[in-house]
Chains A and B, each alone.
Chain A
């Protein structure tokens, strides 16, 4: 296994930047998830690492080798595709053997390697079947088998679980994680599902609009989102964001709304607010950090219940605060009625403040 390094990688289509100066290092044996909404450039980035499309600029290293101008076959990587891309006219055995045949290995070596991979993935009984005779989960395993049959230097995976049904997806998620652990494999894993990224990866690279928005451990991305995009993308339900105005200065700043209410910030948050380029900030709060009061409460802001979604363990509710919707959660025994007035209290130690103009997270001035 080897590390994968992207340095200022650019891919343009005409005047559009599909990948805009992306730099990141995937350490040897690390599981990195490229995550973002559709069209964010994550799959393009993966295809650039694979060498399936030409780069417009930058450098890519696999191990200590600069691979910019190498064909996919010379990069010594393996890839698992979203639709599995199993060769439909070949049996499972021949699908697994194909990468080895292309490397001109002897028949005996091919046989033993295929059998070994098939054994690991528990697909030995399927070897004589054609891909169309397999279930989705079995096809998934064969695709994985074809990737690991020849000890590549890195695995690239393009949404490998998204064609599976929900139950199988959760099962394969843990199996993939186990497989990564046992092989100590370097994995670059593309997904649009932030939950997959958070649960599986050592590090996640959040992308949007061709830019790498944040590259860090899932915990850090979750706890310290760098900007409003990352804040709203990672976590489910999404973090609520709403624009407020700074009132006052120094160490006792309040945030106020156009409707006229305001609440004071603690010292740390005051210093963060002071770092804002203008008078506008965006408050970010996850549902778990908001306390819902049924009566007016000091420091809490007024809102009106819009929807209520009981899930069993916890009840989510959307609350209108001014023009913004805030998602909150309450214990299932708390009854909320539609259009009921409520007061929301934000946990000052776990709230996020973003610059109203740059959308970047604010650090204490």
Chain B
């Protein structure tokens, strides 16, 4: 029993090697996790502190007297801070949801057309759509502002929705096109022979199969619109129209910054995105692995 056969030695060695790699991976993930989780944790911990506790040095890792006061204030409709916060939250929700709905309504038929029909200029048009993504978003700030002013859309939520669509649609169309490319055209043909109109074939057969892609598109559009700062800051000047990323700046003031209040607001702001992502992440991963990669 003391001596191992050659193959046993080999398998032990390779198992050690695998274990080694597994540990390397775990350590790497742990570092990554610290990098992403610590700021969020610190944001949450600070949001439970009083203004005084937040500024203490050395810092309190966990507040001596945790309080929910920062949250109750944000949700209090009688408090002016709460009123503003809820208004920004509503504005952000309005802009993001509308952007998401419009993005799907446009991206689904566009992607389907790019995937299924051949028409003059198809390659050029598809390239033109994707070209938007080759430039940083900020490059379009001034031209879009001028355009919005000409259209009379400055200081309207419409300007933001249009802008976010401009940024979100190229990827959405590209992602969904990958999905439709992978759905055999014979399925639609079979449906049309079975008695469906072209639209029914799309609606009953193709669309259910592209649900993961549509959900991924929705998440992507929503998060993009929800987090956007620079355009919201430039296009909207009226207080009552502001979206959350711009609105929470109000916690900074000339004399003092309400850190716990700011952290509570940012934490509340991340809740919809996190919830959305947790619920739908299964589809999101499937969309990115299935749709974009040709089988």
Contact = CB atoms under 8 A, between A and B. Distances in A.
A73 B189 contact: no
Contacts of A103: 195
Interface residues of A, number: 22
B208 A73 contact: no
Contact of B184 (A47, A73, A77, A83): A83
Query: Which of the four size classes fits the interface of chain B?
Result: 10 to 19
B205 interface: yes
B195 A85 contact: no
B196 A52 contact: no
A146 B194 contact: yes
Interface string A62-91: 000000000111010111011101011100
The prevalent SS among residues of B at the interface is helix
A77 B193 CA distance: 7
A88 B209 contact: yes
B208 A85 contact: no
Contacts of A109: none
Given A87-B205, A88-B209, A89-B209, A98 B186 contact: no
A268 to B, nearest CB: 50
Contact of A73 (B196, B204, B209): B196
B286 to A, nearest CB: 14
A75 B193 CA distance: 8
A241 B144 CA distance: 72
A79 B193 contact: yes
B77 interface: no
Contact of B193 (A72, A82, A83, A88): A72
A102 B208 contact: no
A243 B174 CA distance: 56
Interface string B233-244: 000000000000
B75 interface: no
Given A87-B205, A89-B208, A89-B209, A102 B189 contact: no
Contacts of B187: 85, 87-88
A50 B194 CA distance: 11
A52 to B, nearest CB: 5
A52 B189 contact: yes
Contacts of A50: 189, 193
Contacts of A79: 189-190, 193
Given A85-B184, A88-B209, A102 B190 contact: no
B192 A73 contact: yes
A75 B195 CA distance: 9
Nearest to B195: A102
Given A50-B189, A85-B189, A89-B209, A98 B184 contact: no
B191 interface: yes
Interface string B156-197: 000000000000000000000000000010110111111111
Contacts of A77: 193
Nearest to B208: A89
Contacts of A146: 190, 194
A235 interface: no
Contacts of A87: 187, 190-191, 205
A102 B205 CA distance: 12
A99 interface: yes
Interface string A123-159: 0000000000000000000000010000000000000
Given A71-B197, A102-B196, A102-B200, A81 B205 contact: no
Most buried by A among B196, B200, B209: B196
Nearest to B186: A85
Nearest to A143: B190
Contacts of B191: 87, 98, 102
Nearest to B211: A89
Given A87-B205, A89-B208, A89-B209, A99 B195 contact: yes
Contact of B194 (A52, A88, A89, A99): A99
A146 B186 CA distance: 14
B237 to A, nearest CB: 49
B186 A73 contact: no
Most buried by B among A47, A88, A103: A88
Nearest to B192: A72
A81 to B, nearest CB: 5
Contact of A98 (B194, B197, B208, B209): B194
Contacts of B195: 73, 99, 102-103
27 contacts: A50-B189, A52-B192, A71-B192, A71-B198, A73-B193, A73-B195, A73-B197, A78-B193, A78-B194, A79-B190, A81-B189, A81-B190, A83-B186, A85-B186, A85-B187, A87-B187, A87-B191, A87-B205, A89-B208, A89-B209, A98-B194, A99-B194, A99-B195, A102-B196, A102-B200, A103-B195, A146-B190
The 4 A-B residue pairs with the shortest CB-CB distance in the complex, in nearest-first order: A102-B195, A99-B194, A85-B186, A85-B190
Given A50-B193, A85-B184, A102-B191, 20 more contacts: A47-B189, A52-B189, A52-B192, A71-B197, A71-B198, A73-B192, A73-B193, A73-B194, A73-B195, A73-B197, A78-B193, A78-B194, A81-B189, A83-B184, A85-B186, A87-B187, A98-B191, A99-B195, A102-B194, A102-B196
